[in-house]
Structure 1
Amino acid sequence: MTSTSSNGLSRRALLGAFAATAVSAAPTFANAAGFLRGGGDIRRIVMHSGRTGERIDTIYWIEGEYIPEAIAEINHFMRDWRNNKMVQIDTRTLDIMAAAHGLLDVNEPYMLLSGYRSPETNAMLRSRSRGVAKNSLHLKGQAADLRLKSRSVGQMFKAATACKAGGVGKYSGSNFVHMDCGAVRTWGS
């Protein structure tokens, strides 16, 4: 749903122009809890996928409103790459990811290892690994497995845990952190 003003600019273009200026003026947040309560003017996700070669860099929330077009792009990006199925990604998970990324103070995009998983993909992964949950939040679009080259799993784990907003799993052996918007809990080594 894109509305066009009388001068031919779409709502998305206006928001994009506003966001470009807001990014340079955005404050640094002392903690993720303030960020998750709306302590900032914008929320941004920057990721790449080694599986598909795709990259996304989008501002998905401005001044208390999620941007539907940006959320749709994120839904597509975080799809099950094995069969191209997708669902609505829970914005609470996006907020946790964005807040943790901000706390890490990096410009590097997240590498997305797993976002949404279809039931078929989850069953296949469960047959290969006992570490895959039968009722994984990946099945609901409520989880992401992420990696950064410039930060350790421990650093990412601490940043996501500081959000106090969902589940955080540390997978040091596989070099990634799981973030979800389920119950607040931690696991892994």
Structure 2
Amino acid sequence: MTTSSKGLSRRALLGAFAATTVAAAPTFSNAAGFLRGAGDIRRIRMYSGRTGEMIDSIYWIEGEYIADVMKEITYFMRDWRSDEQHMIDMRTIDIMSASHKLMDASEPYTLFSGYRSPSTNAMLRARSSGVAKNSLHMQGQAADLHLDSRSVDQMARAAEACRAGGVGRYSGSKFVHMDCGVVRSWGR
């Protein structure tokens, strides 16, 4: 661990800088901004209990998204019920990655829901009042995620700190919704 002459660790200084950046620009900050001071790579780690698949990939290097990896992420986050795919919005992946980094979590996310086809969304909507008619899941702009090592509130607070999209707490179902839409939050 690198220590400055004042006794602060490099990680503490970077954390303070990131927090200051978000506080200074509350209407324009985004997840990518949180990742800027984190090095030249961005990584996403997820597990799907529905398919048994796992992804652990670096998807961004030195300012460039890696197209082949984004295709792998899109496949991984497909609608597992219909096997349909829709390109996942890179901004959503950035929010997920930045939140994971802020929580300093070592375990992969468990993906509950990524892309949803219109028919899957309609079926889920018929079963639950918590499913939006025009869900961003149908645009590849949302994910429902879980971490065993973090509470719903901890995950939601990390995503909210990015100030880059919607964050929904679903404590009863133990997951957090993250999307790259309008900045807003809901749930308990």
TM-score (norm 2): 0.83
Shift of 1:137: 0.2
Q: Structure 2: how far apart are the matches of 1:101 and 1:71?
A: 18
Structure 2 counterpart of 1:43 = 42
Between the aligned partners of 1:68 and 1:152, the Cα distance in structure 2 is 32
Counterparts of 1:84 and 1:45 in 2: how far apart (Å)?
A: 21
What residue in structure 1 maps to residue 162 of structure 2? 163
- In structure 2, how many angstroms separate the alpha carbons of the residues matched to 1:113 and 1:160? 16
Unaligned 5+ runs, structure 2 = 1-9, 23-29
Amino acid in structure 2 at the alignment position of 1:133: A
- 3-state DSSP of counterpart to 2:172: helix
Instruction: Determine if the alignment matches structure 1 residue 142 to structure 2 residue 138.
Output: no
Tell me, in whole angstroms, the C-alpha distance in 2 between the residues paired with 1:111 and 1:119: 23
Q: Could you tell me how far apart the structure 1 residues matched to 2:110 and 2:31 are?
A: 22
After superposing on structure 2, the runs of 4+ consecutive aligned residues of structure 1 that deviate more than 4 Å are: 32-35
Q: Which residue of 2 aligns with 1:12?
A: none
**Normalising by structure 1, what TM-score?**
0.83
Q: Give how far 1:171 is off.
A: 0.5
Task: Map 1:149-188 onto structure 2 (within 5 A).
Answer: 149-188=148-187
Identity of aligned pairs, percent? Answer: 66
- Show structure 1 runs of 5+ residues with no match: 1-26
Q: Per-residue deviation at 1:163? A: 0.4
Aligned residue in 2 for 1:96: 95
Residue number in structure 1 paired with 2:116:
117
Cα gap change, 1:184 to 1:83, in 2 (>3 Å): same
The number of aligned residues is: 163
Q: CA contact under 8 A between 2:31 and 2:164: conserved in structure 1?
A: no
The one-letter amino acid paired with 1:158 is R
**CA separation in 2, counterparts of 1:137 and 1:187?**
15
Q: State how 1:23-42 maps to structure 2 within 5 Å.
A: 28=11, 29-30=14-15, 31=18, 33=22, 36-37=32-33, 38-39=36-37, 40-42=39-41
Give the CA deviation at 1:35: 5.9
Shift of 1:36: 1.3
